[in-house]
Amino acid sequence: MTHALAPLLTPRSIALVGASRKRNSVGNDTLRNLLSGGYRGALYPVNPSYRELYGRDCHAGIAQLPEAVDLAILSVPNAVLERTVAEAITAGARSLLIFASAELAGDGRQRIAAMARAAAVPVCGANCMGFFNAEHSLAAFSALFPRALEPGGISCIAQSGSLLQALLFNDPRLRFNLAISSGQELVSSAADYMDYALEQPATQVIALILESIRNPPQFVRALEKAQRRGVPVVALKLARSAAAASLAFSHTGAIAGDAQMYDALFRQHGVLSVREPQELAATALLLSAPKKVAAGGLAMILDSGGERELMVDLAADIGVPFAKIGSDTSEVLRQQLDPGLEPINPLDAWGTGRDFEQIFETCLHALMRDADSALGMFVCDLSDGLDLHIAYASVCEAVAQRSDKLLAMATNFSAGSHRQLALRLARAGIAVLDGAEASLRAVRHALDYRDFLARAQRREPSANLDPERAERWRRRLGERRAPLTEDEGYALLADYGIAVPPHAVALDRAGALAAARSIGFPLVLKTAAPGIAHKSELKGVRLGIGDAQQLAAAYDEISARLGPRVLIAAEVPASIEMAFGILQDESFGAFIMIAFGGIWIEYLKDSVLAMAPVDAALAAQLIAGLRMARVLDGVRGAPACDRSAVIRTIVQLGVLAQELGSSIAEMDLNPVLVSPSGAVAVDCLIVPKGSGPLGASHDR
C-alpha cells in the first residue's frame, strides 16, 4: 500500500512555482538543488517572467503544465500564497511544499490548512526549508547545498530549519536517508514523517528536533511503531518550559511542567532525550552504525593515561559502566603490554611505541571479544595526515572486520581536523564521535535503548485492573463538582491497595471519643468540613493527640470555628516524607508524580513524572533517579525504609491512574510517610475532572 506521504517525499513529478534565475534567491537555490541532486522525475519550473531556466521550459502558471504533478513547491511570498495554494490544488497537485511563513491576515493560515486537508493533500511547512530524500536523489531544499548527499540510515525530522541545516551542511559523517524541515506543520506533522521513515528499510535511527508535538495521539502511535521495529528515536526537545504549572490545583501540577511531561513521555516509549546538537549528532552516528550494542559495558582503549583519567571521570558522572573483563582477557593484555602498563579496562596501551599497531590491534580485539563487552571504543584525537592516526584507523578497521560488536572511535577535542579519516571509518561501519562528553553520552543512550527493549519484552500487562471497581469510582467521581473529602479520598486509595491510616469521621465530641477508643492514641484530628482545602492554614489540624482529654479539647476548639465534622486518624510514625500524585494531560493522558519533600516539595524540586501505568521495575528506576533516594536506605544511623512498599504504592497508583485518570484532574498524596514498616498516605487531595478552582492543599 502506498504511503500517504509518497507524493510529497517520493514524487514522480515536481512543479517549482516561483523558480528564478536570481542568484541567492529561494527559487534559484531550490531549482539548482533539484538539478544538481540528480532528481530523476519530471521537473517543471513555473514563473511567467521566464521562458526557460537552466535548459528547461519555464511555464507561466501551474495550470499550464502538461500534467498534474505529485509535488508543487511553492516559492512565493505571503501576499500570493493563499491564491497559489488554491491554484495548485485546483490543478491537481497531490502534495505541497511551502517555504513562506504563512503570516496572513485573519485566519489565512487555517484556510490554507483546511484547503489542503479537504483535498487530502499533504503539506510540508509552512515556514520550513524543505527536505532531502537521499535514496531518491531528491533535494527539495531552499538553501543551496554544497555537496552530494551520501545516503545513510539517519532520518532527521526537525522543526528548526537552521539546526537541520547545521547538521546537513557541516558534517558528512552524518549520512541521512531522510532530512525534513517540517516547519509549522500545517497539515503533515512530525508523527507523519516518522511513520513514513519507519516504512523505509534504510532507516536505522530517527533524530528529532522538536519545539512541540502537534498531533500527540499519532506521535505516540509512531513511537510504538518504532519500538516494534527496533528503531531508536533520539530527540532534542526545545523550549523546555514549565507552562503547565499555572494550571495546577495541587503540588503535583505545581511542580510538573512541560519538560517533565516530555521526559515522562520519552521514558515510556524509549526515546533518547539529548540536550544539544553535538549530543544529538553523536548519538545518531552511534545508533546508525550497522552493528548493535551487546550485553555488558564499554570496552575502551587509549594511548594516554591522562585522557583515560578524563574519560573515567566523565563516565562516572554520566553513568557509563565499563566492561568487567575476565582473567583470560587480562592475560592477553598482560602478554602484549610494555612493562608498567596495567592489563585493565579502560586500557592505556601506549608504552615505548614499539610494535604499537600489533599491540593495539591484539589488545582491542581481546577487549571486544570479552563476554562483558557491549561495545568498544578507541579514544584518540584524530588528525588527518598524521601517520600515527592513520595507523590507528587501520587498527580499528582490522578489529571491526573480526568482531560482530559495535566499535567506535571518540575524540576528546571536538574541533579536531579529521574529516578524511572520519569519513573513511564511517564507510567501514565505525562511527567517529567528537567530544569526550558527547561521545560518552552517546554510549549511555545506546546502552539505555538496549535496556529499554529488554524491559519492554519482559513487561507484563497490569494484573490488578478491575473493571467493576473502575466503573464504580468513575461514576462517583463524575457526580462530584468539588474535590473529594479526605475520608472519601482514603476510601478510594484503600480500594486501590494504597495504605492509609486507620481513621473515622465524627460529627460530635462523643463520636470523636468513640473513634479514638477504636483507633487508639496517639491521634490526628482534622476538620472534615466540605470545601476546606487549606486545613493547616485555617488551624484545622491537631497532631500528636495523646489522650481523651486532649482530643476533647481539640475537637471543641476546631468544631467551634470550622464546624462539627472532623476526621480522626491514627498518627503514623514518620521517617521520610514523600509525595505522590496524578496529573491528567489532555494530549497524553495520566502521569504519575513521585517526589521527596513533604511541605518542602516545591522548594526541593526533587521529583519525576512517569506515564501510567508503571511496573515495579520502572518504579524502582524512577525512585533511584531522585537526588534524595539514598535517604530511604537510612542515614546517620537511621534504619532503612521499606523501599518495596514505596514501589508497590507507585505501581498501585499507576493502576489507579490507568483506570481513573480520565476522571481525575489532579491527585495529590502529600505527605506519604515512609518508614521501615511501610508507606502510608496520610493526606490526600483528589480533584475530579470538572471541579471548580481550588488552591493547593497543605494539610500538614
Helix, strand, or coil (residue 278): helix
d(CA 276, CA 467): 44
Across 536-692, where does the E strand assignment appear? Answer: 541-545, 566-570, 576-585, 589-596, 607-611, 664-675, 678-681, 684-688
d(CA 445, CA 75): 39
Euclidean distance between the first and the last CA atom of the chain, given in angstroms as a whole number: 61
Residue 463's pLDDT is: 66
d(CA 685, CA 700): 12
Contact 679, 672 (CB under 8 A): yes
28-86: pLDDT as tens digits: 999 999 999 999 999 999 999 999 999 999 999 999 999 999 999 999 999 999 999 99
Alpha-carbon torsion 277, 281, 282, 283, what sign? positive
Residue 460's pLDDT is: 67
Take residue 593 and report the three cell numbers written for it: 508524580
Contact 473, 492 (CB under 8 A): yes
Crossing angle of the two packed helices 436-458 and 277-287, in degrees rounded to 10: 60
Residues 77-108 as b or e (16 or more Cβ within 10 Å = b): eeeebbebbebbbebbbbbbbbbbbbebeeee
CA 172 to chain CA centroid, Å, is 26
d(CA 93, CA 23): 27
Residues 308-331 as b or e (16 or more Cβ within 10 Å = b): bebbeebbeebebebbebeeebbe
The parts of the chain modelled with pLDDT lower than 50 are: 243-256, 694-700
Residues 6+ apart with CB under 8 A from 410: 377, 378, 379, 380, 432, 433, 434, 436, 439, 440
Alpha-carbon torsion 156, 434, 286, 223, what sign? negative
Residue 699's pLDDT is: 44
Residue 516's pLDDT is: 96
Contact 526, 551 (CB under 8 A): no
Residue 691's pLDDT is: 72
Domains and CATH numbers, the chain: 6-232+270-285 (3.40.50.720), 292-458 (3.40.50.261), 461-499+574-700 (3.30.470.20), 502-571 (3.30.1490.20)
641-653: pLDDT as tens digits: 999 999 999 999 9
d(CA 59, CA 48): 6
Residue 163's pLDDT is: 96
Output the CA–CA distances (angstroms, integers) from residue 127 to 166, 184, 425, in the order listed.
Answer: 17, 6, 37
CA 319-629-595 angle, to 5 degrees, is 110
